[in-house]
Structure 1
Amino acid sequence: MKRKTLIKDPIYGYIQCNPEEINVIDTEAVQRLRRIRQLAGSEFVYPAGVHTRFEHSLGVMHLSGLMADSLISKGHLDEDAVEIVRVAALLHDVGHGPFSHVFEALLLRHLKKTHEDMTIEVVTQTALKDAVESMGLNAKETALLAVGRLQKKSREFLSQIISSSIDCDKLDYILRDSYHTGGEFASIDVFRLIHTVDLHEGNLAVDLVALPTLESFLVARVELFRSIYFHKASRAAQILLEKSLEKANEEMGILNVTPQEYLSYDDYSMWGLMLQCKGSKSYIERLRIRDLPKVCYEKMFFVKDGVFSTILTKEGVRRQLEEEIANEAGIDVESVYIDVPTLPSVPYHSTIRDEDVNLPIIQRGKNGRRRILRLEDVSNIISVMKGFLNIIRVYTDEVHRETVAKASEKLLGDPFSAKISF
């Protein structure tokens, strides 16, 4: 019998790991996550929100193992599949760059890559590969499973444990982020949800008896987005970080690295690099004294599609509008920044999406027969909340706040009549 190591965790009490898992945990790639904060920028609003990708990854591994065990008890999975699920869950975030999702904006802009792409490279092209394969696991399969891209016939649900509407990644970050920021949005019985997970046509489904828990989970996700992930001051800090990273890349080519060299990047090392960079230093100096850009215009509206935010995700479109506002205000365009929820640097989702409302719900009759329903059909709460929370914000420096506010109102009075050519 393998001796278990117990890791104390504030959310679940203890997380058990076997010696082979500890060997993976002790690699450079995983230990690096101790130095990458989960909510980069949020510490300027929530001082205790300084937890890292490391403890989150342990939590996702723990919950994924429990969900796999739940599926084993229902006859859907073999015992030998638990290990690859747990290890893949542990590694799902190893591709994150410094400052988490803020760095992703650079990856997409310059390399057309996401942190999931980087995860695959880190798992398959660094020393981490040896640790994974020493467990008898295939590194490429483990990497694909870690990012929810493993396509195995009749085994699609394995990826869904880590990446889906009710994946263990979301379950953990909602509990953990709420705990560390002091929020009271996430009183969710995740264990009830995990133990009522089943399969329908090879996909994850939830038993109807857990509907209230599922509703609480999805509502909490939206509430945390509004209160934490898209908080105006958190985003202001992230704006400065993103501008600083962009300048550092222009001067120092920080993206020109191999996967192994990428592992030298974390929040601390990148902060030091940016202080050495002429273009970045001014932004970092502002962060050091919490001199954040200010919101001078904000409009929030809830619609059934995300066309408006999606359009503003396009950098050229957003840049054009920033230039028009800056010209109207008579200031440099670098002092104007438009923010919307669909930008790559914004973590997680602001809405109840189609994949959420289409989640199969299993209703069991007295005779044991199953009836499959859609979440939207059995939950009035979710049906009402379906749609896109569109928010457009314009930030500028305190000195320009009044003039940029007037320019923004002139150009964006009604977001759907914005004076911009698409």
Structure 2
Amino acid sequence: MKSLLSRYIVTSDPVYGYIKIYDHEVSILESEAFQRLRRIKHLGVTDYAYPGATYTTFLHSIGTAHIVENMVREVLVKADVSYDDIERYVVLLRLILLLHDVGYGPYTYVFEEAILEPRQLTHEGMGARIAEEFSEISVGIEKALRDYGYTYKHVIQAINSRNIDNWPFRSQINSEINEKVLFHFFKGAFSANTIDRVLRDSYYTGAIRSVIDWRKLLYYTLPYEDGVVFDSRATDILEQILITKMRLLLHVYYDSEVRSTSIFCRNVLKKLDQEKLIDFDAIVRDVYRYLTLDDYTIFSIENVRYVKEVKSFTYGRNPYVACIEYYVPREKYFKTDIDINEIKRIVVERIRDCGTEIDVDSDLFIDVLNHLMKLIFKEREYEISTRYGDGSIVKTKIYDFLPTLFNCKVVAFRVYVKRTLSDKVCNMRYKIISSIDNEIGVY
């Protein structure tokens, strides 16, 4: 069988230099569904605070394919996997990573939270449907994988895998390892997806100026049982990735302008949904209609573009501003859940006590970092297996790393209000914080 990896084109990438696109992938990349990803900013509305954060899901997808190819080659060769098998897994994993985010809607995570999640849907599930129902993609997958014994259904199931129990590939690769190891290249704390996000988010936002030697991490990663183990000489890179991810969380993803714009955009989408200005129920049932939505088209629909909130969002007129930040000691941060409703009650009462009327539903909202932390670190229970020079292997949960990555105090939540109320609320911020301490003692 002629190698599928012998013919390719080379394209430039600002993060990796040069990356390959193989001939058998071109028909998939040129499909309408994949080209749509050029019109979806992967960081959603982050560019409202970080103007450089405009890279697309298209770019992220080919970046993760590049990373996963290097992972497969570097890690599997250490287990004496044959060249033919390595090639097979390179072809397979690249297709999975290319398509893993093809189901994102406009503004990525904002659309998912506002439209997909209330309907018990995910972008992975939408992506699996697109890969199945869009013939340009399913036929392209079939042609690439038929000689390896896989079908497009294997790729669909892999895209939908939320954990290793759902991973469709479980056969023995050789006497040492099985195909479950491939899941850790796809998802997890140090997966291809995570590494590309950390590198690309840092580069395009300009917020984190650190160089992560991801290739060194691959050199010191070995297949082990159903997963991977890291040589202790790679500990510095593991820590660097976690630290960078945490810095991105605190300074980019939880930036006050990013969060307020995200929530404003979410509220606009919910308004369009509730008032049936866009029939999202019909759209999510029909992948062809779903593919017509991107960052540019969704707010350009005839009966939508003149809605007051849509115009405000389009012209960057975010009505909310952060007035209160509530800090807590680092060591107590992970031990208590925050009652948003109780905090909102106290804030509203103190504002009204000062003679200012406020609408609970539209004039303010509370944003909790702990909630965002759980979304960003979904793999917080993921175990890092580290092998030391004496042959011993020590397992550590990522969750145990997190407290050491924070400063001495952490923002537990923020209170945002309409800009028209910001001066009055800011003037009473210390009174409100004191009331929260006295009445509920969050920590």
Q: Provide the rounded CA distance (Å) in 2 between the counterparts of 1:283 and 1:327.
A: 30
Per-residue CA shift, 1:178-201, capped at 9, x if unaligned? Answer: 111113343110111122211222
Equivalent residue runs for 1:303-382 within 5 Å: 303=332, 305=334, 307-308=336-337, 312=340, 329-332=356-359, 333-341=361-369, 349=376, 353-355=380-382, 358-365=383-390, 370-375=391-396
Q: Provide the rounded CA distance (Å) in 1 between the counterparts of 2:343 and 2:181.
A: 38
Give the residue type in structure 2 aligned to 1:285.
Answer: S
Per-residue CA shift, 1:216-258, capped at 9, x if unaligned? Answer: 1110000011111111111121122111111111222224221
Give the residue type in structure 2 aligned to 1:282.
Answer: E
CA shift at 1:93, angstroms? 0.7
Equivalent residues of 1:362, 1:372 under 8 A apart: yes
How many percent identity over aligned positions?
23
Report which of the two structures shows the higher radius of gyration computed on alpha carbons.
Answer: 2
Q: Provide the rounded CA distance (Å) in 1 between the counterparts of 2:152 and 2:438.
A: 48
Q: Provide the rounded CA distance (Å) in 1 between the counterparts of 2:208 and 2:231.
A: 26
Question: Gaps spanning 5+ residues in structure 1: where?
Answer: none
Which residue of structure 2 aligns with residue 104 of structure 1? 112
Per-residue CA shift, 1:146-187, capped at 9, x if unaligned? Answer: 354424434222122111011111101111111111133431
Q: 2:158 aligns with which of 127, 140, 145?
A: 145
Equivalent residues of 2:184, 2:228 under 8 A apart: yes
SS in 1 for 2:233: helix
Normalising by structure 1, what TM-score?
Answer: 0.85
Q: Report the count of equivalent residues.
A: 407
Q: Provide the rounded CA distance (Å) in 1 between the counterparts of 2:61 and 2:68.
A: 10
SS in 1 for 2:188: coil
Q: 2:311 aligns with which of 284, 287, 291?
A: 284
Moved more, 183-192 or 31-40: 183-192
Q: Is 1:267 paired with 2:291? A: no
CA shift at 1:30, angstroms? 1.4
- Residue 304 and residue 410 in structure 1: after superposition, are their counterparts in 2 closer, same or farther (change >3 A)? closer
Equivalent residues of 1:359, 1:375 under 8 A apart: yes
Which residue of structure 2 aligns with residue 92 of structure 1? 100
Equivalent residues of 1:243, 1:283 under 8 A apart: no
Q: Is 1:163 paired with 2:171? A: no
SS in 1 for 2:144: coil
Q: Is 1:132 paired with 2:141? A: yes
Q: Provide the rounded CA distance (Å) in 2 between the counterparts of 1:113 and 1:347.
A: 19
SS in 2 for 1:267: coil
Moved more, 328-337 or 240-249: 328-337
CA shift at 1:75, angstroms? 2.2
Q: 2:234 aligns with which of 190, 204, 210?
A: 210
SS in 1 for 2:300: helix
CA shift at 1:390, angstroms? 5.9
Give the residue type in structure 2 aligned to 1:105.
Answer: E
Equivalent residues of 1:174, 1:220 under 8 A apart: yes
CA shift at 1:304, angstroms? 5.5
- Residue 26 and residue 37 in structure 1: after superposition, are their counterparts in 2 closer, same or farther (change >3 A)? same
Q: Provide the rounded CA distance (Å) in 2 between the counterparts of 1:218 and 1:182.
A: 18
SS in 2 for 1:99: coil
Give the residue type in structure 1 aligned to 2:293.
Answer: Y
Which residue of structure 2 aligns with residue 256 of structure 1? 282
Which residue of structure 1 aligns with residue 55 of structure 2? 51
Give the residue type in structure 2 aligned to 1:84.
Answer: L
Which residue of structure 1 aligns with residue 414 of structure 2? 393
Q: Provide the rounded CA distance (Å) in 1 between the counterparts of 2:142 and 2:439.
A: 56
Which residue of structure 2 aligns with residue 69 of structure 1? 73
Q: Provide the rounded CA distance (Å) in 1 between the counterparts of 2:73 and 2:46.
A: 35
Per-residue CA shift, 1:76-103, capped at 9, x if unaligned? Answer: 7522122111110111111111001000
- Residue 73 and residue 342 in structure 1: after superposition, are their counterparts in 2 closer, same or farther (change >3 A)? same
CA shift at 1:279, angstroms? 8.6
CA shift at 1:143, angstroms? 2.4
Q: Provide the rounded CA distance (Å) in 1 between the counterparts of 2:406 and 2:280.
A: 40
Which residue of structure 1 aligns with residue 173 of structure 2? none
- Residue 385 and residue 291 in structure 1: after superposition, are their counterparts in 2 closer, same or farther (change >3 A)? closer
Q: 2:222 aligns with which of 179, 198, 203?
A: 198
Equivalent residues of 2:370, 2:412 under 8 A apart: no
Per-residue CA shift, 1:265-315, capped at 9, x if unaligned? Answer: 110011213x73289432432441444410011113333536525x65xxx
Give the residue type in structure 2 aligned to 1:143.
Answer: I
Equivalent residues of 2:189, 2:379 under 8 A apart: no
Equivalent residues of 1:241, 1:284 under 8 A apart: no
Question: Gaps spanning 5+ residues in structure 2: where?
Answer: 171-177
Q: Provide the rounded CA distance (Å) in 1 between the counterparts of 2:419 and 2:245.
A: 32
CA shift at 1:208, angstroms? 0.8
Moved more, 94-103 or 130-139: 130-139
Give the residue type in structure 2 aligned to 1:288.
Answer: Y
RMSD: 3.3
CA shift at 1:380, angstroms? 9.9
Q: Provide the rounded CA distance (Å) in 2 between the counterparts of 1:416 and 1:130.
A: 63
- Residue 236 and residue 72 in structure 1: after superposition, are their counterparts in 2 closer, same or farther (change >3 A)? same
SS in 1 for 2:229: strand
Q: Provide the rounded CA distance (Å) in 2 between the counterparts of 1:270 and 1:342.
A: 30
Q: 2:324 aligns with which of 297, 304, 307?
A: 297
